[in-house]
Amino acid sequence: MNPRDRLPVSRWTLRFCLLGGGIAWTLHLVGAWAIAEFGILGGFAGVNTLILVLSAAMLLAAGAATLVSAHVRRAAGPENHEDARTVAFCGRFGIVTNAVFTVIIAAQTVPVFYFLDQ
Amino acid sequence: MKTADDAQLAAFDARWRSPRGWLGFFTEVNNQQLGVRFMVTSLIFFAIGGFLALLMRIQLTVPENDFMGPQLYNELFTLHGSTMMFLFAVPFLEGLALYVLPLMIGSRDVAFPRLTAFSYWTYLFGGLIFYASLLTGTPPDAGWFAYTPLSGPGFAGLGMDFWVMGLALVEIAGLAAGVEIVVTILKLRAPGMSLRRLPMLAWTLLVSGAMMIFAFSVLLVATLLLELDRAAGFAFFDPDRGGSSLLWQHLFWFFGHPEVYIMFLPATGIVSTLVTTAARRPLAAYPLVAMAVVVTGFVSFGLWMHHMYATGLPELGLSFFAAASLMIGVASGIQIFAWIATLWGSRPRITVPFLYVLGFFFNFVLGGFTGVMVAVVPFDWQVHDTFFIVAHFHYVLIGGVVFPVFAALHYWLPKVTGRLQNERLGRWGFWLNFAGCNLTFFPMHIMGFLGLARRVYTYPEELQIGGYNIVSTLGAFLMAAGFVAIVVDLLRSVRRGPAAGDNPWDTGTLDGSMSSPPPIYSFLRPPVVRSREPLWGPVKHKAGEPALEEEALSERASAALHAAPSDWRATLATDAITGRPSGVQVLAEPSLSPLLSALGLTLAFVGVLLKSYLLIPLGLVLAVSFLARWMYPSSDYNRKVYSSGLAERSGLPVLLEGARSCSWWGMLCFVGIAGSAFVALFFCYFYLWLFAESWPPPDAAPPDPLRGAIAHAPLLLAAGAAWLAKRRLAAPGFSAARGPLLLLSAALAFTVLQLGLGSFELATLPFSPRDHSYGSSVWVMLMVVLTFSLTAALLLACSLARARRIEPWDLTPLRLQLQLTTMFVLLTALAAAGTYAVVHLAPRLL
């Protein structure tokens, strides 16, 4: 039997659980900065709106990664098996990590509201 | 009387033992030997960098001192900063990782032993080139950050070229080490060491290695662009010709800030290991600490602009980076609280390494606090160019990196030498360093507030900070005395120290199970791991639990490898997440090729320095030839491995392909490096466009889209053909090589066609790369695509040559080679498509 078959979730689900929030945060930061830098200097009027839309999308992505992590944790089932324990660990790790990235994205979005009327 | 076991052990030992004599020195590929070389070399550079710092402190002791002039002072702080950042801290941690990682994760060696050797030689040659700048009479003087235009052709002399080329070699060494560390941790762990049982040092090194891959590739691009400006008259950083000085700062700090965490994260891994050992209990909140390490790794890439608050960037942009700068403190705080929780209620042994950990807590927390202060934009504006910043980053780097490095030296040196150090001398060393560090750098906070500017060789008496500076200089000499005490202790212990025993600190990680010093092959029988601290008690499984079945598989694989024939080197490969055995990874043997390819690369770089246009191609050909020789596997070797019977005994494949193989992961890392480099180039293009008055400039028409499409399209066809060839070769029941051969030939032909058409397009561009930054950007992107095409053509030619005659034992290695080649050709096609869109379409569409 292929050892991979023992995992209760797919490899892609596990990867999203481990890295989803981090990637969403990266895209948010780079995207928001690029919009701010290029948009403001380029004279584009809708900078704030665009950043808010991007932030909402990335918040959703990081939130989805948190939910998927919770699913991974549940799918691991009773931890009487090393693979199940490992998957459960990944789930717990993903829940905390992705939740933290969700909070960071939200925190980084707050300053945009300060600049909304400018 | 010798038993069969003794004879087998002797043969095994002989197979792994490093060759003797000078030839052995140059062909060495063993992780332990190379790890020690990395650490010793970096400590020598540390001593030199420290000596330069003492000279600067002498100059600053009293106001209006004439011990040295402004030019020498500029040169000294440039050499000091560059040495400490590039030649000491990261290489030391690379060396430590090379030595300790395999012992800690239960592997016999690292994933790519020859790449380790290549990394060491390029690092050494890079450091030597860097210091050879002293011979030019114009050493680099633009700071370790080399801001343009100070580092550009108009201001800096030949020494700056030495700085750039030496640094480029060190970056290549760092990239190689990053790949090595990541793949080793992901693939070569002991059976049973799942992600949740990974030692915390390995977690930190994994994240740090991944960061090196992305950060160093961007710096490599930046330094090569700077050298193109300097040596070939390109215009990337020249505002008069459409370039931008701020572009350099963006590229440099995109590397420079993660660089701090590339050093700091492994240091926290050292601290976690030492805290756990001192408290003799598992690390508290392990999943949270692992999370904090990963979050720190990500967020550190989002902080580069907090080095640029004072450059007049849009406030909205600054606010993102201020928020990220504050948030990263949360991740660091989690680690600090986890360490406190681990120590809480325990009775830690206050040994010398643990003293350094306590020193780390004090100094790093102080440096962290001032870090939060300077993350606040208006505060940073006030203190940006003052000694307050000097104090902040020295508290972070000395407290957060050098103290853990010294702790690691004391902690693992008995493992390396087999001898204990002198406790008394060690304590003297610690207190001198601790007092020296605080006396040197704490007064700098106050001096910064009082207006002492950094990077200025003297100050007027009216500032009334002479007293603080005297204390600061005294502290610097105390630190120097502390370092001397460490070195004396080190040398003394190697000769006369008492025997250390296998586990002098009673650590719970696998390195404590080895003799001191460990055998050259580390583990004769790969261990099976049952808990996070394997030496502190394995988990007992109940009869009938599925876990026992997994252990049986691991034990079988481990026993089979133990009994394997000794005429080749191998270790167990495991699954990246679960830690289940997934195959037997054959490891490379000693070779001169890594040294010669590093030498070739160095020759090419020296050719650039000397403007010797014969030396450049000669060096490159030498480098590529020996790289090819080192990587081209011999059919005879494959046969030996294939027919060893190990696959049957272990129940695992011995010739690996796909994600089971280290090489596949290595190529994935390389794709990450190349991808980051390309993204950096695209960023340069659009950034310059943003600030340009017109893009392209009025006298330069953008390249023709139709010609560009014709020049780049063959790469898409080549990628398709290579992918189909890979699919055909992977099909079950494959016997004839005809189909893949034809497809490979087609892929090669398309790639060669692109080389021809692309070269023609480049040669007939209607503008010069020297006239304007637009021309420079376009030229470099097209050139990089051509370089990728050439590499793809070489890889395809190698695959084709091997596919012509396939023995049964060559089939899996050929499949692997084709998988890697296809991955690279796909990357090349993607890069070409991206370049086409940016260079040919964007100026017309946007």
DSSP code per residue over B439-481: HHHHHHHHHHHTTPBTT-S---GGG--HHHHHHHHHHHHHHHH
Residue of A nearest to B319 (CA): A111
Q: Quick: pLDDT tens for B138-155.
A: 899 999 999 999 999 989
B192: distance to nearest CA of chain A, Å?
Answer: 8
Could you say which of B295, B317, B546 has the minimum Cβ distance to residue A33?
A: B317
Q: Give the pairing type, strands B581-586 and B570-574.
A: antiparallel
Calculate helix-pair angle for B315-343, B245-279, nearest 10 degrees.
10
In the structure encoding, which two tokens stand for residue B693, read together?
A: 């008055």
Question: Rounded mean pLDDT of B758-762?
Answer: 95
Q: Which residue has the tokens 């008492």?
A: B498
> How far is Cα B552 from Cα B540, in angstroms, rounded to an integer?
14
Is there a contact between A96 and B313 if contact means CB atoms under 8 Å apart?
Answer: no
For residue B194, the distance in angstroms to the closest alpha carbon of chain A comes to 6
List, in order, residues 6 or more apart from B18 with CB less than 8 Å away. B24, B28, B30, B33, B520, B590
* DSSP, residue by residue, A49-108: HHHHHHHHHHHHHHHHHHHHHHHHHHHT-SS-SHHHHHHHHHHHHHHHHHHHHHHHHHHH
C-alpha to C-alpha distance for A65 and B94, rounded to whole angstroms: 33
pLDDT at A3: 45
CB contact under 8 A, A37 and B690: yes
Amino acid residing at B809 = W
Q: What's the gap in Å between the CA of B323 and the closest CA on chain A?
A: 5
d(CA A55, CA A39): 16
Q: Are B782 and B759 in contact (CB under 8 A)?
A: no
Which is more confidently placed, A118 or B232?
A: B232
Helix B352-375 to helix B315-343 angle (10° resolution) is 150
Which residues have CB under 8 Å from B243's CB, separation 6+? B229, B235, B236, B237, B688, B773, B776
Report in angstroms the alpha-carbon separations of B389 from B371, B372, B383, B490, B817: 9, 12, 7, 33, 50
In this predicted structure, what is the pLDDT of residue A118? 59
For the segment B585-604, the average pLDDT, to the nearest whole number, is 93
Q: What's the pLDDT band for A2 if we cut at 50, 70, 90? A: very low
Which tokens go with B137? 């009479």
**Which among B316, B324, B547 is the nearest to A81, CB-wise?**
B547
B10-23 confidence digits (pLDDT tens)? 877 888 887 888 88
The answer to whether residue B456 scores a pLDDT higher than 70 is: yes
pLDDT digits (tens, 9 = 90+) for B739-757: 788 999 999 999 999 999 9
At the second CATH level, the architecture of B664-845 is Up-down Bundle (1.20)
Could you give the CA distance from residue A56 to residue A43 in angstroms, rounded to a whole number? 23
Burial of B391 (0-12, 13-18, 19+ CB in 10 A): buried
A residues 59..118 contacting B (CB < 8 A) = 80-83, 85-86, 89-90, 92-93, 96-97, 100-101, 104, 107-108, 110-112, 114-115
pLDDT score of B34: 95
Rounded to whole angstroms, the Cα distance separating B1 from A98 reads 62
Ramachandran angles phi, psi of B188, nearest 5°: -115, 35
pLDDT, residue B548, reads: 55
Q: Do the Cβ atoms of B161 and B230 come closer than 8 Å? A: yes
The separation between CA B225 and the C-alpha centre of its own chain, rounded to angstroms, equals: 21
The greatest distance separating any two alpha carbons of chain B, rounded to the nearest whole angstrom, comes to 88
Confidence band for B670, pLDDT divided at 50, 70 and 90: very high
User: What is the arithmetic mean of pLDDT over B199-216?
Assistant: 96
Does B793 have pLDDT greater than 50? yes
Whether residues B580 and A22 touch (CB distance < 8 A) is answered with: no
Instruction: Report d(CA B421, CA B649) in Å as an integer.
Output: 44
Contacts of B301 in chain A (CB under 8 A): 26, 29
Q: What pLDDT is recorded for position B392?
A: 95
Comparing B503 with B549, the larger pLDDT belongs to B503
Res B822 pLDDT > 50: yes
CB contact (8 A) between residue B582 and residue A81: no
What torsion, rounded to 10 degrees, do the Cα atoms B827, B169, B174, B826 define? 0
Give long-range contacts, CB 8 A cutoff, 24+ apart: B7-14.
B8/B566, B9/B524, B11/B566, B12/B521, B12/B524, B12/B566, B13/B519, B13/B520, B13/B521, B14/B566
Q: Is the pLDDT of residue B543 over 60?
A: no
pLDDT above 80 (res A41): no
pLDDT above 50: residue B407:
yes
Task: Find chain A residues with C-beta within 8 A of B546's C-beta.
Answer: 80-82
Which pLDDT band holds residue B351 (cuts at 50, 70, 90)?
A: very high
| φ/ψ (deg, to 5) at B17 | -65, 145
| Nearest Cα to Cα of residue B148 among B566, B773, B826, B738 | B773
For residue B193, give both structure tokens.
């060491």
Select the more confidently predicted residue: B120 or B524. Answer: B120
What three-state secondary structure class fits B324?
helix
Structure tokens at B268: 């926290």
Residue closest to A61 by CA, chosen among A91, A104, A93: A104
Please give the pLDDT value at position B560. Answer: 78
Give chain B's length: 846
- Best mutation target among B316, B652, B676, B686 (most A Cβ atoms within 10 Å) is B316
Whether B90 shows a pLDDT value over 70: the answer reads yes
CA B130 to chain centre: 18
Domain limits, chain A: 9-114
| Average of per-residue pLDDT across B466-476 | 95
Interatomic CA distance for residues B59 and B472, integer angstroms:
12
What count of CB pairs under 8 Å joins A to B?
123
Judge contact between B235 and B777, C-beta under 8 A: no
> Do A100 and A63 contact (CB within 8 A), yes or no?
no
Per-residue pLDDT at B499 exceeds 70 = yes
Closest residue in chain B to residue A3, using alpha carbons only: B580
Q: Which residue has the higher pLDDT, B589 or B435?
A: B435
What are the two backbone dihedrals, phi and then psi, of residue B684, each rounded to the nearest 5 degrees?
Answer: -55, -45
**CB contact burial B28-55 (16+ within 10 A = b; e otherwise):** bbbbbbbbbbbbebbbebbebbbebbbe
Per-residue model confidence (pLDDT) at position A85: 85
Which stretches of B634-772 are DSSP H helices? Answer: 635-642, 646-650, 662-691, 705-730, 738-763
* CB < 8 Å to B317, chain A: 33, 36-37, 40
| pLDDT tens string B59-80 | 999 999 999 999 999 999 999 9
Quick one: closest CA in A to B660, which residue?
A4
Band (A1; pLDDT cuts 50, 70, 90): very low
User: Can you tell me the mean pLDDT for A58-82?
Assistant: 89
| Cα B769 off chain centre by | 32
Residue closest to B108 by CA, chosen among B245, B227, B15, B215 = B15
Q: What is the pLDDT of residues A29-40, one digit of tens each?
A: 888 888 887 787
Mean pLDDT score of chain A = 84
Is A107 within 8 Å of B327 when comparing Cβ atoms? yes
Would you tell me which residues 534-573 of chain B have a C-beta closer than 8 angstroms to some C-beta of chain A?
545-547, 550
Cβ pair B391, B437 in contact under 8 A: no
Percent of chain B with pLDDT over 70: 96
Contact B316 A80 (CB under 8 A): no
* pLDDT at B233 exceeding the cut of 90: yes
Average pLDDT over residues B774-786: 96
Say yes or no to pLDDT of B828 above 70: yes
Tokens linked to B736: 């004839």
DSSP B531: S
The two three-digit tokens of residue B204, written as one number: 């930190």
Q: Which of B314, B330, B550 sits opposite A82 (nearest CB)?
A: B550
pLDDT at site B16 = 84
pLDDT at A49: 85
pLDDT of residue B541: 53
CA B222 to chain centre: 16
Q: How would residue B814 be classed by pLDDT, with cut points 50, 70 and 90?
A: confident
DSSP structure string for B217-278 = HHHHHHHHHHHHHHHH---TT-GGGT--HHHHHHHHHHHHHHHHHHHHHHHHHHHHHHHHHH
pLDDT for residue A4: 46
Higher local confidence (pLDDT), B218 or A36? B218
Cβ–Cβ below 8 Å for B320 and A29: yes
Tell me what the mean pLDDT of segment B656-685 comes to: 92
User: Which residues are within 8 A (CB) of B114 and not within 5 positions of it... i.e. 6 or more apart?
Assistant: B29, B588, B591, B593, B594, B630
- Stronger pLDDT, B538 or B757, i.e. the higher one: B757
- pLDDT mean over A35-60: 84
Nearest to A86 among B313, B319, B578 (CB): B578
Q: How far is residue A92's CA from residue A88's CA, in Å, rounded to a whole number? A: 6
Answer whether residue B611 shows pLDDT above 80: yes
The closest alpha carbon to B269, from B414, B455, B404, belongs to B404
How far is residue B467 CA from its own chain's centroid? 41
Does residue B175 have a pLDDT over 80? Answer: yes
- Distance of alpha carbon A13 from alpha carbon A65, whole angstroms: 9
pLDDT tens-place string over residues B368-395: 899 989 988 899 999 989 999 999 999 9
CB contact under 8 A, B317 and A40: yes
For B543, the closest chain A residue by CA position comes to A80
- Asked if A82's CB is within 8 angstroms of B192's CB, the reply is yes
pLDDT greater than 80 at residue B736: no
Give the mean model confidence (pLDDT) for residues A15-38: 88
Mean pLDDT of all residues belonging to chain B: 90
- In B488-600, DSSP assigns E strands to 570-574, 581-586
CB within 8 Å: B316 and A22: no
Tell me the shortest Cα–Cα distance from A4 to chain B, in angstroms.
Answer: 9
